[in-house]
Amino acid sequence: MARPSTKANLTTEEMIELQTILRSTKVEHRLKERASIIWDWHEGRSYDESQSLRKVTRRVIAKWRSRFLKNRLEGLTDAYRSGKPVVITEAQKNRVVHLACNKPAKGYSNWSQQRIGDEVGISASKVNKILKEHDLKPHKVEYWCGKSTDPEFESKMLNIVGLYMNPPENAIVLCVDEKTQIQALDRTQPELPLRYGNPKRLTATYKRNGVVNLIASLAVHKGEVIAETMESNNAKNFLKFLKKLASAYRDKKLYIIADNLAVHKHESVKKWVEKNKRVELHHTPTYSSWLNQVEIWFNILSKDVLKGAVWHSKQQLIDQLMEYIKTYNKERAKPFQWTYNPC
């Protein structure tokens, strides 16, 4: 009979940690095996007993007991290996960064990771790794608002932001704009709906069933939308819509925000606003239509309704737009958490 082995001198924390490893269903098998060898030692099992129970060689048992004595629980993890020598030189890394940060030649506007790799002589996956190390994202584009050339930018901006942040009493602030040339696109074959394992599928060929022009107002502090379609975007239709808003908010003074489109400054519009003391029209500064909050709602409309949709007629598109606006006002209308950073 083999001579019993002395027990391992485990601390309470080490016993708890070993038991956690042994009971876990997620740790790697090899780590659980090493923990079992040490636990056998803790319970006084001999080399032969542990060898028979764990189906491992005496050499393996000796290795992990020795590693445990030297480094305790940390000794049960795999030792660091240097691995395959680095095959990407610093010059190649610098070349990748240089190409990614500069416009490509040969008529291209943007780099792909594959073309950068081909240029440098490495794989696209290695290019991806280098770009991540340098926090470079060639695929991503961010836009910023350039400085307006309007000499009255600051006063107009402060006026509009003031209406957003501190509206006058018994008044309503409305953002108005048009979304024109919405195409009622149909497909030459019926669409194939989403199925398990397959996305929604559309034919690449299509036919046009006309265009729709939408004019909309957003009540800034309520979130509700009033909109209608029109055949063309002109001063006559814009004025007609302003009158509709005046009628809809009969007991309120209206502060209407619009951009600098010519139809918004037409003589007929100016005369009507001058006569109607209950309405004030405020224009955004030049190149600053982003100050108009209805643009946010138009973006929501595009994602919810227009992207990838199919309409068999112009009227079908109009009906869907009106139904969506009715649903939006009933279920989702609320003020936007709008902020402005002048820096």
CATH number at residue 241: 3.30.420.10
Q: Write the secondary structure of 2-71 as one string of H (helix), E (strand) and C (coil).
A: CCCCCCCCCCHHHHHHHHHHHHCCCCCHHHHHHHHHHHHHHCCCCHHHHHHHHCCCHHHHHHHHHHHHHH
Q: Are residues 178 and 284 in the same domain?
A: yes
Q: Which residue(s) pair with 208 in the sheet?
A: 185
Helix 90-100 vs helix 113-120: crossing angle, to nearest 10: 140
Q: Are residues 121 and 241 in the same domain?
A: no
32, 47, 76 - which closes a domain: 76
Enter the pTM of the model: 0.63
Q: Greater confidence, 323 or 308? A: 323
pLDDT score of 343: 56
Instruction: Say which range, 158-162, 173-177, 192-196, has the weakest mean pLDDT.
Output: 192-196
Q: Are residues 110 and 176 in the same domain?
A: no
Give whole-number Cα distances, 128 to 86, 122, 252, in Å: 16, 11, 57
**340 within a domain of the structure (yes/no):** no
Binned at pLDDT 50, 70 and 90, residue 150 comes out as confident
Q: Are residues 209 and 321 in the same domain?
A: yes
- Cβ distance 214 to 177 under 8 Å? no
Tell me the pLDDT tens digit for each residue of 324-340.
999 999 999 999 987 76
**2 within a domain of the structure (yes/no):** no
Tell me the pLDDT tens digit for each residue of 59-89.
888 888 888 888 787 777 776 666 666 678 8
Q: Are residues 213 and 98 in the same domain?
A: no
Q: Residue 183 contacts by C-beta under 8 Å, 6 or more apart in sequence?
A: 208, 210, 211
Per the structure, the complete domain to which residue 122 belongs is given by 90-133
